[in-house]
Every structure is written in C-alpha cells, then in structure tokens.
Structure 1
Amino acid sequence: MKLKQVFFLILFQFVVISFLAQETTATHSGISLISTKKTFIVGDKITLEFLVKNDSLIQLYCANSYGATVLTPKVIAKKNTFKIPSFMSKKRGVLSWSIINSSEEISGNISILSQQQPTTIETYVGPPSIDAGGLDYTMLVVIPTDSLDNPILDHSKVDVKYQFLKSEKSQPILTDKLIGYKNIFSPKKSGRMIISSESYGLNSKEFDVNIMPAIATNFKLFASRNHEYADGNQITTFYTSIIKDKNRNIVSDGSYIEFYITNKKGDILKTTGTTINGVAHAKIIHPDFEEVWKVKAYFIGISESNAITIKYKKVIEDYTVSFTAHNRSIKVGPLKSFMKQIIPDGLSVKLSIYKNNTLTKELFKESLNGFATFYLDPNIFENNLYKIVIETAGIKKEFKSFKLW
C-alpha cells in the first residue's frame, strides 16, 4: 500500500514539473505568430501578424524565386502586422519568411497557388513536318497560365484536338511540372494535320503539321522517242512510274531523280528530272552514231528503277568527200538521213590530220544544209604528204598519202 502511494506521489510531481516548464517557456517567448493561414492564391493580399510582448522592433525577411526583401511592420498595441508586397504575392511557389532583429529563431513558409482558371495558353508544336507511316511524331507542348502569368496547378486537364483528312480526335492530358505535352504520331497517309488545345474552356490557336510521304520504294523506268535512228537531232524522253512510299503515298513534288546512261564504250552520261505528281521526266538528245544505251534511274540514297536498254540505228550509210583548191578545201556531204532527206543541221563532223603517223590537228565542224566544209590553211599546214581521217555518224574514212600543195 505504501509503495502504491509513493508511485502516485512521484507521478504527480512529474506532471507538475512538466506544466511549470511549459508555462516558463510560454512566458519567456516574447514573439508569437497570430496568423494561421498558410496557403494563398496568387493575387491575394497576404499579411502576417505577430504578437510581440516586449517593446522591441522586429523585422521580417521574405524570399521567393523573384528575390528577397526585408519588411518593417505596422505596430498596433503590440501586434506587428507585415504586408507581403505584391511582386511576391503574384508569383506561385513557396514564400519563406523569418524574424530578424530578435534573439529567437522564428521562421516559416507560405504556399502560393496559381489561379485555376487560365487566361492564356502558350502552345508549341514541332517539328512542323514529319514522315507518314506511324514512326515519326511531332510534340505538342501546352502551358496554360493564369492572369498573372503563372502556370496553373499540376494535374489540370488539357484537351488535345487534332484533325486529319476526315478524322477528328480529342484526347485529354494532365499538366505535370508546369506543362502538358503529347507526342502525336504520324498517320499512314500524307497530308496536313491541324492541331489545337483547350483548357477550362480556353482554346489555343490553330497549328499545322505537314505529313510528308515516307522513304520512296523502287519504281519503274520507261522511254519514249519519235524514232530509233541516231540522227543527233531528235530527243528521247525518260520517265518513271508514279513513285510512292511503302504506304502508297506519292512522293513530294520536286523530288530529284537522276538518270544514268552507259554506252557501248562504258562511258556514262547523266540527265536529271524532278517529280510532278510522283512522275519524273528527263530528256536527252539522240546520239549521232549507232549506239546501245543502258539506262537506270536513281532517287539518290533512297530507291532506284529497273534498267532498260535502248538501241539506236545508224542513220547515214555513206557520204562523199570532195577536195578542191590544191586539196586544201575539203567538203563532206551531202549528208542524208534514213529517208534520204538532208540531215538536220548540227551533225558533228571531225577531221583528223596526221603527219608521219603522228596526230597533228583535229578540226570539228557542224553540218549546215547537209554539208561540212574544212579549209587547211597553208600557213599552218605546209606542202607535204599527210593522212586525213574524216569521221561522222560513226562512219570513218581515211585518205593516206594525202598531198597538200
């Protein structure tokens, strides 16, 4: 029984000592925070009130992401009231404060939240052009902001709207870390996609994204010509089939196609064309002698065509060469075409002059009215024996021991 009384006595003394200790702390604490509200909306008028038991003048240090300042209170009957300046209260985030000019350490934080109703929507879309097929995508970034240019609260709903061809879709997203974003993948068809966004009844402006055809697939090559004779005058036209990607989208107009031509000697000629409605055309003049061409087209680094072979027939079977003025005036012709008509002007004729089996000079002329005329100037070609070789339309004629005087 005595033991039980001793136990209750000790317990009572412990409670009394704890109560007295609390009273002493409260008595010695000269500054106490009266304000209880810790969460505000941007634009609210924010005040902090403190009860100061002694007559000391305190100041309040405030800091947020905009900067820091020291405030002096308005004092009425030991109640110190601090008014937070508007440049701090209109910025969302955490506002930290602490009492200075006091031996006590008193500090705290205030949460300032953005307004939930946005007044503007900052929207960014890029890239502006993507490839069709579902692998490429553009990104939409949305930042709804309130009247004080603060991004609205995280997890706020934003509706992403986009229209393509006959399809219209709307998908909701939630803002996170101040922004909302969505990757919009390309459809299989090419065309133009229109994108916009909406948040709490506020709509953004319209954005365009071009859905471009993807990488082209292989295609076919064709050729057309008026006739198959090598007259050096007519034109052969090469053209492709409609060039498309794997999703059957026609490649963009202006795509650059190169046509490579390999002749019998292995030499390579090249002509080019650009696509219109998926088809590329290129033209090249006929050779002026019998020839066989192997032609192939390339969408460089992307795709290619099949190879085709084109044969050109000899247009001139023979021609005459006449010499006058001590053999110094050489007239080649008449040059007649496949219907015995005079060949069109411009056929190349080459005259090679050899002395002692060494090539001395090569002269070139183009036919005019079916003839090509050369004159061997005596100031250049002295009186002597030469070998003359004349070549045109793939036909070569040699005149050995040719005397000039």
Structure 2
Amino acid sequence: MHILHICIILSLLFSGCSKEPEVKKVSSANFELVTSKDNFTAGEPFSLKFKASEESSPVLVFRNAVGTTILKASNSNDVLQFDIPKNFYEKSGICYWSLVSGSEEKMKGTLTIHVNNKNGTFLESYLGPRSLTAGPKDYAMFVMVATDFYDNPLNDSTSITSKVQFKDSETEEVLLSKNLIAWTKVRSPEKSGRMLISAACNETDSKEFTTIIYPANPVDFTISYKRNHEYADGNQVITFRTSILYDAFGNSVSEGTLVSFIITNDQGAKLQAQGTTLNGKAEARLLHPEQKASWTIEAFVTGAARSKPIKVAFKASVTEYNIQFSDGFRTISVGPLKSFMNQLVPDGMPIALTVKDESGKVLDVLRTSSMQGEGKFELSPDFFPTGSYELQIKTAGITKTKSVELK
C-alpha cells in the first residue's frame, strides 16, 4: 500500500477516537423572588418562593447559625417553593440564601428570624461562690440568661430584675441584657447570716439561690484563766478562756475556729494547748506544773488575731521532804511528800535520782513516781560496785545532794 494511503487511514483513525471538548451548560432561565417578607419569627414555618422564566430545577443554598443546607424545590402552579427545615427556622438571627441553577448563582439575599416572645420566657441563672465573708470586699457573681421557647437569647437591652433579700432588707436592681447575658455583683453585707437571691424577666421567675455570709477574720481579743488553787501540785487543771471573738463588723466568729494558747515558763520552755470556739469562746486546759513556776500565756488565731499576754504564778506545793538510806546506802526512800495542806501529794509525782562518781561524772539517772506520797530507789551492786558516789535527788522542784559510800 502506498505510504500516502497509510497516513490518510491513520489520521482518520486518530480523529475518530478523540473526544469533543465538554461544553458547560449555562441555564438561561431567569428567576423572580415571590416571597415579599424578609422578617420571620422563630418557630413559625416559612418558605421561599420563586418564579422561573422557563422550566428549570434550581437548588437553594440556605445558611444560618445552625449550619448550611441545600434545598430542592417543589413546583406548584409554576412557582418554585423551598421549605425551610425546622431546625433552621427555630434559630433566630440573620440567614443567607443563594438560588443556584446550572452551576450558576442566579439570586442571593438575606432574611432575619426574630426571637419568639409569644410562648413565654425561659430564665436561667447562675450564682457563685455560694458562701461569702462579711464585709463589702467580698461578692458573688449573679449571671442571668433569658431565652425564648426555642432557646434563642432575647434581644439586647431586655430588662431582667435581680432581687436580693437579707434579714429585714429587700432590694431590686433592673439589669439590661447584652451579648446573651445580664450580670451583677452581689456584695456581701457586714453582718453574717443567710442571703436569698433570685431573678425575674417577663413575668418569669428564676429559682431561689442561697448564699451564706460567714463572719470575717476575728480581731484581737483578751484571755483569762480559772483554777482551783495556786499551788504547783502537778495534779489540778488550769483552764484558759478567750473573750467572745468578734470580727471587725461585730459578728461572733464561726463555730469551730481554732485558737492556740502558747505558754512560756520562767525557764523559757514553751507549751501549747488548743481549743475551738463555741458560742464565740474557746477554752484550753493544762495540768498545773510540778514545781514553783511563772507562766506567760498568749493566744492566737493563726494569721488573724492575737491576745495580750497574761501571767500566772504557781506556788510550791511541796516545800520540804525527807530522805532515808538503808542497806548500806543502796536503798533510798524519798518522802513522805506532803502538799500545801500537809496532805500527801497525789500519786504520780515524778522523782529523779542522779548518780555521779567521785569526779562528778554522771553514771546514771533513775526515775520513779510517788505512791502513797513516797518513792524508792534500789542501787544494785551489779551496776554500782562498792565505792564513793554522789546522789542527787530532785522532786517538786527541790534538789538534795548526798555523798555516800556504797557497801
């Protein structure tokens, strides 16, 4: 076959296999918006209607705060009707729509769905914190949200009334909503007690909130003491009491407030006792010392208040006692120990025996307590062999020393 014929055949084959370029279809129909309203009420169904110059199947792109949806039309009497879905028409705010036909936007516009006040107002309110400290510095935030039946926030500048009741006082404050909410600061009064707070909007009332007003931190106070006698017998109890603790506004402090009593004796040693308030007062108890002493007492509410110091003196209850030795000075009997009325001291009076060698080195310290007014020590030969020792006996703050030769 001639080469020219071959080229002609191949060109015809290739031209037959090639595709023609796609032509984008453009709708030539024109549309007219039939719906005249552009303001609607939330919860009330509505549609957008259009007339077309020729047969067409456009779609409506509808968008608002809920999201975006594409709607198909129903045709009735040559009118295209797009029914807006329920979840879209229940949401208030600005809505945007576009009519699209043949991939071309033919029309667009906006409409507004307004809050529905016909079915009543719903009022939500929030309060916190639910406990305050007395005095104008502390406050709670009261936030109110007013909505319609479909949970749409009411329009800005809607009036919402805040109500506060405390003791014999009732107050109201009219607030204007803005950006969904209305809010106010509920200041704490100067007196302690229970405060009730509520809100109202369009004849709808909120639930009642309760806030407890607690006393503020106490201010400085005084202390006193009570005891049966002034003798240091190590047996009787001394009671320390505070005055009624008040805050700066005259409120008695909260029950259970912790008060610490710090006792410093004349040797600089410190003791501590604690008590909690009941009816505004706190108490703490300590045993009397076992020897003559002078105490300085202060009380504190940590980080808040303190008392002025007071002093308490204790007289010696035991002024003298006897020591008896037997068994070659290996048995030491102390007593009888007699108190301020010549009575035997209560059982349990501590007695200490310090044993030293001839050079004054402490070999041992033995301890016992009185029983029936007496105490006894035994120096075993296994621990203290025969030799010279110095014995130092101390009880009731009285120290006696005796040099002995143990046998």
| Residue 89 of structure 2 is aligned to residue 86 of structure 1 | no
How far does the alpha carbon of each residue in 1:322-345 deviate from its partner, in whole angstroms, 9 at most, with x for none? 223333322211111111011112
Looking at structure 1, the residues matched to 230 and 136 of structure 2 have their Cα atoms a distance apart, in angstroms, of 47
Higher mean alpha-carbon deviation, 39-48 vs 351-360, is at: 351-360
- 2:52 counterpart residue number: 52
| Residue 393 of structure 2 is aligned to residue 390 of structure 1 | yes
| Number of equivalent positions | 377
| Residue 239 of structure 2 is aligned to residue 241 of structure 1 | no
Looking at structure 1, the residues matched to 255 and 305 of structure 2 have their Cα atoms a distance apart, in angstroms, of 16
Higher mean alpha-carbon deviation, 243-252 vs 349-358, is at: 349-358
| Residue 333 of structure 2 is aligned to residue 327 of structure 1 | no
Where do 1:124-135 residues align within 5 Å?
A: 124-135=126-137
Higher mean alpha-carbon deviation, 312-321 vs 351-360, is at: 351-360
Where do 1:245-394 residues align within 5 Å?
A: 245-355=247-357, 356-394=359-397
Looking at structure 2, the residues matched to 115 and 279 of structure 1 have their Cα atoms a distance apart, in angstroms, of 59
Higher mean alpha-carbon deviation, 96-105 vs 281-290, is at: 96-105
The residue matched to 2:342 in structure 1 has which SS? coil
Q: Which runs of 5+ in 1 are unaligned?
A: 1-27
- 2:112 counterpart residue number: 111
Looking at structure 2, the residues matched to 146 and 238 of structure 1 have their Cα atoms a distance apart, in angstroms, of 63
**What letter corresponds to residue 174 of structure 1 in structure 2?**
L
Shift of 1:119: 4.6
Shift of 1:111: 2.0
**What letter corresponds to residue 93 of structure 1 in structure 2?**
G
Deviating beyond 3 angstroms after TM superposition, the runs of 4 or more aligned structure 1 residues are: 117-120
Query: Identity over aligned residues, as a percent?
Result: 37
Looking at structure 2, the residues matched to 327 and 96 of structure 1 have their Cα atoms a distance apart, in angstroms, of 114
How far does the alpha carbon of each residue in 1:30-78 deviate from its partner, in whole angstroms, 9 at most, with x for none? 1222222222222110211122223231111122222221111112244
Shift of 1:118: 4.1
How far does the alpha carbon of each residue in 1:105-130 deviate from its partner, in whole angstroms, 9 at most, with x for none? 52222222222254532221111111
Shift of 1:138: 0.9
Per the alignment, do residues 404 and 105 of structure 1 end up closer, same or farther by CA in structure 2, a change over 3 Å counting?
A: farther
**What letter corresponds to residue 70 of structure 1 in structure 2?**
I
Looking at structure 2, the residues matched to 132 and 189 of structure 1 have their Cα atoms a distance apart, in angstroms, of 6
Choose from 145, 148, 152 the match for 1:146.
Answer: 148
**What letter corresponds to residue 235 of structure 2 in structure 1?**
N
Looking at structure 1, the residues matched to 371 and 342 of structure 2 have their Cα atoms a distance apart, in angstroms, of 16
TM-score, length of structure 1 as denominator length: 0.88
- 1:201 counterpart residue number: 203
Per the alignment, do residues 46 and 361 of structure 1 end up closer, same or farther by CA in structure 2, a change over 3 Å counting?
A: farther
Higher mean alpha-carbon deviation, 158-167 vs 354-363, is at: 354-363
Per the alignment, do residues 178 and 388 of structure 1 end up closer, same or farther by CA in structure 2, a change over 3 Å counting?
A: same
How far does the alpha carbon of each residue in 1:356-379 deviate from its partner, in whole angstroms, 9 at most, with x for none? 322222222222221122223333
- 2:69 counterpart residue number: 69
Per the alignment, do residues 110 and 327 of structure 1 end up closer, same or farther by CA in structure 2, a change over 3 Å counting?
A: farther
The residue matched to 2:87 in structure 1 has which SS? helix
Where do 1:168-207 residues align within 5 Å?
A: 168-207=170-209
TM-score, length of structure 2 as denominator length: 0.88
Shift of 1:264: 1.0
Looking at structure 1, the residues matched to 98 and 385 of structure 2 have their Cα atoms a distance apart, in angstroms, of 113
